Amino acid sequence: MGGEPFDVDGIEVRRLFSSTSNRGACRFFFDLKLGDLPSAPRDPETAGRMSLFRVEAGAYLYERDEPSEWNNARLCDAGRAIATVAAQVWAKRLPIWEPQDQLAKFAKADACSLFPKLRGFAGYDPYAFGGGPNTCVFGEPSDARRVVLTLKPLTADDLNGRNAIGQLNKERAVERRDGVELHVIQHPNSDRKDLCEVVVFLGRSFAPVSLHPGEAVAGTSGLITPGAVAQGLCGDSLKDVAVAAAKRFAA
């Protein structure tokens, strides 16, 4: 992809090149033009500094992925999409969540902060599978009872998913444990019949918001609910992690 700028709701987005550009990265930026806002200081020096602020957005290859013409094309498609959404958010001046807002708390939640509440796990790792603050792996690499906990928005499709040819690929049972409703899911088509997912819902549902009024949000159906998904060997240990997550992270 070339370096031609493109327009997003009146904002010019440009490709970011530098002498240290990483072959495994494709970045874009746009100026915030804070000095042009009605509330901007009239002092020329301060206004000049404010005009330097900008947003950078992009996409990066994983370490295991080699730069190639095909990978780089996909990378720049992803980087362009991320930059486009960022520019749309800024152009529409979408509101910032209040600190006490349920979704803001959920977005900032650290899955690994659950570790002190758990028993039977010798350690934890937030990056074992390339995760981050929303994912944590409890247990040592040699522990067969390791549990992967992910905090994520959930839809009905997460519980009733179907495979590419429309066949149901999940078996689900609902049970209560220590006052928490658990959705215990097995994947009958998997090679590992002893692996399960335990899903818990953490708060009220909300409708996904599109940047374009009247258009549905791609990839979603119905309402979205903050939730937690614990993955690992089927059994009490997995359910205990899900229950602990529900009690810690529920709104």
Comparing 108 with 4, which gets the higher pLDDT? Answer: 4
Q: Kindly state the tokens that stand for 118.
A: 């758990």
Q: Kindly state the tokens that stand for 160.
A: 């009733």
Comparing 83 with 209, which gets the higher pLDDT? Answer: 83
Q: What is the pLDDT of residues 5-15, one digit of tens each?
A: 999 999 999 99
**Residue 143 clears pLDDT 90, i.e. is over it:** no
Distance (Å, whole) CA 1 – CA 71 = 12
Cβ neighbours, 10 Å, residue 84: 19
Whether residue 55 contacts residue 90, with contact meaning beta carbons closer than 8 Å, is answered with yes
The pLDDT mean for the chain works out to 78
Length of the chain: 251
Distance (Å, whole) CA 173 – CA 178 = 16
Alpha helical stretches, state H, the chain: 44-50, 69-91, 102-108, 156-159, 236-249
Q: Kindly state the tokens that stand for 126.
A: 């937030």
**Residue 57 clears pLDDT 80, i.e. is over it:** yes
For 104, how many CA atoms within 13 A lie in the half-sphere containing its CB? 7
Distance (Å, whole) CA 90 – CA 73 = 26
What pLDDT sits at residue 130?
58
**What is the mean predicted confidence (pLDDT) over 202-212?**
69
**What is the mean predicted confidence (pLDDT) over 9-32?**
81
What pLDDT sits at residue 92?
83
**Residue 198 clears pLDDT 90, i.e. is over it:** yes
Report the greatest alpha carbon distance in the chain: 68
For the entire predicted model, the pTM comes to 0.62
Q: What is the pLDDT of residues 62-102, one digit of tens each?
A: 544 555 565 667 788 888 888 998 898 888 877 655 555 66
Whether residue 102 contacts residue 251, with contact meaning beta carbons closer than 8 Å, is answered with yes
Question: Among candidates 112, 102, 242, which has minimal Cα distance to 180?
Answer: 242
